């Protein structure tokens, strides 16, 4: 059996409507980039929405052309015979608003000025992202999603779907997520912000795309990337090896882990926009499932569908205690909830690096629907 979804094309849905944001501002017209894999069945009951992490995009599986060296970011999960089986399910992956990967964001043209929004783009919350996704799902003619599955920021979107639209979601699967962003996670994003702000090329967000604040942006990415890893995974991959390019007693010499962070940060600058990075970081910082509710208890009372939660033992960005707080409240309310703590040394990125550790549990859950 061929396990690839083969060649795929990113599509774009345009909406003339204005979306009322949680801030009170309105955003429109809207464009949402998305990809679909598999076929929608006759009664349109087999649709699963895959929600992206922080700097992801709509390209979750397959390749864009024959010479494309890198498949979509969750290609090991989506395809014929895989856990998100495109012979059974219709998989939708959309890019969130606020991004720079095809959906409306800071790099998009502001219809009022005819120039890019840049910092005139309104602050968006995860809840706003989900409301924009709802427009896309309606455009596709889907009344009810079989499931919403996502890791990290995608887990937050999955939870929001279950709370905002309880009659239109049959299940949610939050992976490596949290019910509210912790002060530690916010502080790491604060360091990343300052790295970008302090780059002289940032120019209060008015930099030219061809001259981005590359040094500050690369440092910001490095700060974020460290939070995705763990002590064990870094020791396994790099140990204390010194770079072969440098002498140990060269004052500016670097360890291999430093070289890795440099490479990762610099390559990221070439494929993402600094303002979009900052807007999405702000959305993460603002996330609290109890926003506009009186309490966590009240917010979760709206969640009626079965939910399957995964946390990872070495995740220190969103440690197991955070999703467990949500799970315990759902259990107290006698909601249909299952939770699994997965042992992994790969930190927050475990859901991308070792999906085989939770795939059987996810398959069993989806089969049970």
Q: What is the pLDDT of residues 12-62, one digit of tens each?
A: 999 999 999 999 999 999 999 999 999 999 999 999 999 999 999 999 999
Q: Write the CB contacts of 172 (distance below 8 Å, at least 6 apart in sequence).
A: 147, 148, 149, 158, 159, 161, 162, 303, 305, 306, 307, 308
Q: Which residues are catalytic?
A: 152, 315, 348
Residue-level pLDDT at 2: 52
**Residue 155, both tokens:** 């887990």
Of the pLDDT bands very low, low, confident and very high (cuts 50, 70, 90), residue 6 is confident
Region of 339 please: left (phi>0), alpha (psi -120 to 50) or beta: beta
CB atoms within 10 A of CB 43: 8
Residue-level pLDDT at 170: 98
Percentage of residues of the chain with pLDDT beyond 70: 99
Percentage of residues of the chain with pLDDT beyond 90: 95
**Residue 85, both tokens:** 């089986």
Residue-level pLDDT at 3: 74
Of the pLDDT bands very low, low, confident and very high (cuts 50, 70, 90), residue 1 is very low
Coil, strand or helix at 205: helix
Does residue 69 surpass a pLDDT of 50? Answer: yes
Q: What is the pLDDT of residues 302-321, one digit of tens each?
A: 999 999 999 999 999 999 99
* Average model confidence (pLDDT) across the chain: 96
Q: Write the CB contacts of 238 (distance below 8 Å, at least 6 apart in sequence).
A: 255, 256, 257, 260
Mean pLDDT over 76-101 rounds to 98
Residues in the chain: 369
Residue-level pLDDT at 193: 98
């Amino acid at each position: 059996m061929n396990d690839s979804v083969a060649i795929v094309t990113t599509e774009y849905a345009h909406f003339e409507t204005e979306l009322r944001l949680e801030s009170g501002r309105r955003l429109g017209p809207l464009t949402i980039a998305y990809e679909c894999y598999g076929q929608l069945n006759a009664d349109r009951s087999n649709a699963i929405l895959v929600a992206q992490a922080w700097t992801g995009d709509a390209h979750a599986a397959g390749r864009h052309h024959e010479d494309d060296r890198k498949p979509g970011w969750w290609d090991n999960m989506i395809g014929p015979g895989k856990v998100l089986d495109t012979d059974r399910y219709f998989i939708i992956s959309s890019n969130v608003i606020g991004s720079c990967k095809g959906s409306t964001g800071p790099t998009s043209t502001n219809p009022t000025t005819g120039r890019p929004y840049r910092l005139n783009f309104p602050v968006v919350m995860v809840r706003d992202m989900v409301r924009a996704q709802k427009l896309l799902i309606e455009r596709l003619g889907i009344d009810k999603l079989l499931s919403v599955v996502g890791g990290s920021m995608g887990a937050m979107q999955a939870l929001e779907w279950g709370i905002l639209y309880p009659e239109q979601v049959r299940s949610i699967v939050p992976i490596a997520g949290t019910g509210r962003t912790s002060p530690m996670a916010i502080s790491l994003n604060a360091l990343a912000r300052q790295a970008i702000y302090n780059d002289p090329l940032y120019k209060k967000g008015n930099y030219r795309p061809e001259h981005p604040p590359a040094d500050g942006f690369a440092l910001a990415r490095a700060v974020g990337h460290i939070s995705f890893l763990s002590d064990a995974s870094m020791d396994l991959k790099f140990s204390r090896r010194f770079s072969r390019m440098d002498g140990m007693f060269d004052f500016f010499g670097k360890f291999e882990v430093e070289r890795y962070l440099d490479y990762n940060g610099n390559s990221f600058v070439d494929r993402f926009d600094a303002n979009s990075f900052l807007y999405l970081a702000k959305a993460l910082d603002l996330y609290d499932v109890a926003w506009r509710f009186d309490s966590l208890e009240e917010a979760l009372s709206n969640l009626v569908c079965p939910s399957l939660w995964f946390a990872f033992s070495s995740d220190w960005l969103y440690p197991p205690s955070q999703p467990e707080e949500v799970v315990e409240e759902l259990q107290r309310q006698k909601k249909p909830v299952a939770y699994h703590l997965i042992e992994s040394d790969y930190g927050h990125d475990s859901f991308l690096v070792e999906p085989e550790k939770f795939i059987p549990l996810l398959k069993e859950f989806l089969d049970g629907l």
